[in-house]
Amino acid sequence: MASALKTIALFGATGSIGGSTLDVVARHPDRFRVGALSAHTRVDEMLELCARFRPDVAVIADPARYPALRDGLRERGLATCALAGADALVDVAADPAFDTVVAALVGAAGVPSTIAAARAGKRLLLANKESIVLAGDLLMQAAREGGAAILPVDSEHNAIFQCLPADGGRAGVRRLLLTASGGPFRGRSRDSLAGVTPEQACAHPNWSMGPKISVDSATLMNKGLEVIEAHHLFAVAPGAIEVVVHPQSIVHSLVDYVDGSVLAQLGNPDMRTAIACGLSWPERIDAGVAPLDLPALARFDFTAPDHAAFPCLRLAWRVLDAGGAAPAVLNAANEVAVSAFLQRRIAFLDIPALIQASLDALPGGPAGSLDQLLAIDAAARRVAASLVARMETP
Ligand code: NAD
Ligand code: MG
């Protein structure tokens, strides 16, 4: 028998994770109802989703698009209530009408609503890794105090979540092994990456994802962000987290125990597995994902990461060692650098250079409150933007 109907607030509904979430939800109308949807700017897509899923609330983060959303809902005869702005996301995240919040928006814009959902004791499906990188201590504290359950919707962290002891303890855990596909430039030398384009960087061999995380995968900054994410989510020391390159993206990550047992979670590279796990845990539901065909795969490869070609990865341990707000500086500088690269203002190899220069200029300082962290985020964006202007080729 299915458990009681869960009402879901999905932030980032028009994105890659948003679409996969709605696909899983649509397979189980007896279990899930869409209560709220949000998007940044794309009103037309949002209206189509509202017509299909009939949410109570639709939030458009960009206030300038509010009239188009409100009028579009009215023209279609939909009862969905239109809201706009970043504060509306926080209100919806905390609203007791929604028991499950899916944080599938991209970037530091997700921090306030993610923390609000944690504080309100929601089941929180966390895809928005930037929020835990920027404010990991605050987010985990809010979840503890609010009684929220954080279900990781990053394939690696979802794998580790499934492989850790069921009692929530860490007894006998020696290491967490995060797998990395290596991205589209795996095996290439540093010098050969000087002229790569945004199109090449976004052409991921195994996963279809939004542009920001695609570039992060190409620089391996994504894996660095995931090291920080794993440290906070699983309360494991940075020195006990390792990265191994696994080009097939079938072994999603592993937990190494002191007796020599290594537990792994495997599956096809399809985010619907992690999303379905997060939505229904500890029950299992159909995610629409094809069964794994091991003979067809034939082999798995594992190699050590190439830190010389991909210096972003090591920065994760650097900022964790520095502590305080250093991860927030790293995240902000990376967001600015990736956006400038996507706009063809800086080159691919400028991305790690820009992040390192930002960390040198602004080492971080103590983390403090959310307001203090967001002020450091803003200061780091200013530093990074001035570095972009200096690096930019006319
Ligand atoms: P995407 O670019 O496809 O979608 C991003 C969504 O966020 C869109 O709905 C957009 O409207 C919304 N958004 C963007 N800026 C916003 C803002 N300022 N305010 C409010 N909403 C905003 O991205 P994605 O690939 O779906 O990734 C979403 C998050 O999930 C990222 O943090 C990413 O790192 C993480 N993630 C993604 C994948 C994946 O397979 N795509 C895997 C693991 C983790
Ligand atoms: Mg991942």
Kindly state whether residue 221 falls inside one of the protein's structural domains. Answer: yes
| pLDDT greater at residue 394 or residue 157 | 157
Q: Which whole number is the average pLDDT over 354-368? A: 91
Q: How confident is the model at residue 204 (pLDDT cuts 50, 70, 90)?
A: confident
What is the whole-number distance in angstroms between the Cα of residue 155 and the centre of ligand 2?
Answer: 5
Asked if 383 and 333 touch (Cβ cutoff 8 Å), the reply is yes
Which ligand has the nearest atom to the CA of 269?
1
pLDDT tens, position by position, 189-200:
999 999 999 999
pLDDT tens, position by position, 227-245:
999 999 999 999 999 999 9
Q: Is the pLDDT of residue 272 over 90?
A: yes
| Ligand 1 pocket mutation, candidates 106, 253, 268, criterion most atoms within 8 A of CB | 106
| Ligand 1 pocket mutation, candidates 10, 14, 17, 130, criterion most atoms within 8 A of CB | 17
What is the whole-number distance in angstroms between the Cα of residue 261 and the centre of ligand 1?
Answer: 35
Q: How confident is the model at residue 3 (pLDDT cuts 50, 70, 90)?
A: low
Cα separation, 262 vs 14, in Å, equals: 37
Pair 164, 120 in one domain: no
Kindly state whether residue 72 falls inside one of the protein's structural domains. Answer: yes
Kindly state whether residue 286 falls inside one of the protein's structural domains. Answer: no
Pair 147, 166 in one domain: no
Q: How confident is the model at residue 394 (pLDDT cuts 50, 70, 90)?
A: low
The response to whether residue 217 sits with its C-beta less than 6 Å from ligand 1 reads no
| Residues above pLDDT 90, as percent of the chain | 94
* Cα 58 from chain centre: 22
pLDDT tens, position by position, 178-192:
999 999 999 999 999
Indicate the annotated binding residues.
14-17, 128-130, 154-156, 181, 204, 210, 217, 222-223, 226
Count of structural domains within the chain: 3
Kindly state whether residue 278 falls inside one of the protein's structural domains. Answer: no
pLDDT tens, position by position, 28-42:
999 999 999 999 999
Kindly state whether residue 176 falls inside one of the protein's structural domains. Answer: yes
The response to whether residue 130 sits with its C-beta less than 6 Å from ligand 1 reads yes
End of a domain among 153, 180, 203? Answer: 153
Helix (H, G, I), strand (E, B) or coil at 176: strand
Pair 159, 169 in one domain: yes
Pair 162, 137 in one domain: no
| Ligand 1 pocket mutation, candidates 213, 215, 219, 339, criterion most atoms within 8 A of CB | 213
Pair 136, 196 in one domain: no
Pair 85, 189 in one domain: no
Question: What is the b/e burial string over 123-143, where b = at least 16 CB atoms within 10 angstroms of the residue's CB?
Answer: bbbbbbbbbbbbbbebbbebb
The response to whether residue 106 sits with its C-beta less than 6 Å from ligand 1 reads yes
How much is the pLDDT for 166? 87
Which ligand has the nearest atom to the CA of 207?
1
Give the residue whose CA is nearest to atom 41 of ligand 1. 209
CA 98, 103, 104: angle at the middle one, nearest 5?
130
Q: What's the mean pLDDT when you consider all of the chain? A: 96
Q: How confident is the model at residue 84 (pLDDT cuts 50, 70, 90)?
A: very high
What is the whole-number distance in angstroms between the Cα of residue 169 and the centre of ligand 1?
Answer: 31
Q: How confident is the model at residue 322 (pLDDT cuts 50, 70, 90)?
A: very high
Pair 188, 200 in one domain: yes
pLDDT tens, position by position, 99-143:
999 999 999 999 999 999 999 999 999 999 999 999 999 999 999
The response to whether residue 342 sits with its C-beta less than 6 Å from ligand 1 reads no
Pair 20, 107 in one domain: yes
Which ligand has the nearest atom to the CA of 92?
1
Q: Which whole number is the average pLDDT over 90-97? A: 98
Output Rg (C-alpha) for the chain, integer angstroms: 20
How much is the pLDDT for 109? 95
Kindly state whether residue 285 falls inside one of the protein's structural domains. Answer: no
Pair 334, 306 in one domain: no
Pairing of the two strands 251-257 and 241-245: unpaired
pLDDT tens, position by position, 52-79:
999 999 999 999 999 999 999 999 999 9
The response to whether residue 213 sits with its C-beta less than 6 Å from ligand 1 reads yes
Q: Is the pLDDT of residue 218 over 70?
A: yes
How much is the pLDDT for 205? 85
Pair 165, 145 in one domain: no
**Whether the bond into 352 is cis, omega within 30 of 0:** no
pLDDT tens, position by position, 373-387:
999 999 999 999 999
Pair 146, 25 in one domain: yes
Q: Is the pLDDT of residue 1 over 60?
A: no
Cα separation, 389 vs 346, in Å, equals: 9
Q: Which whole number is the average pLDDT over 337-346? A: 98
Which ligand has the nearest atom to the CA of 125?
1
Q: How confident is the model at residue 207 (pLDDT cuts 50, 70, 90)?
A: confident
Domain that holds residue 359: 323-394
Q: Predicted ipTM? A: 0.99
Kindly state whether residue 200 falls inside one of the protein's structural domains. Answer: yes
Kindly state whether residue 383 falls inside one of the protein's structural domains. Answer: yes
Pair 128, 176 in one domain: no
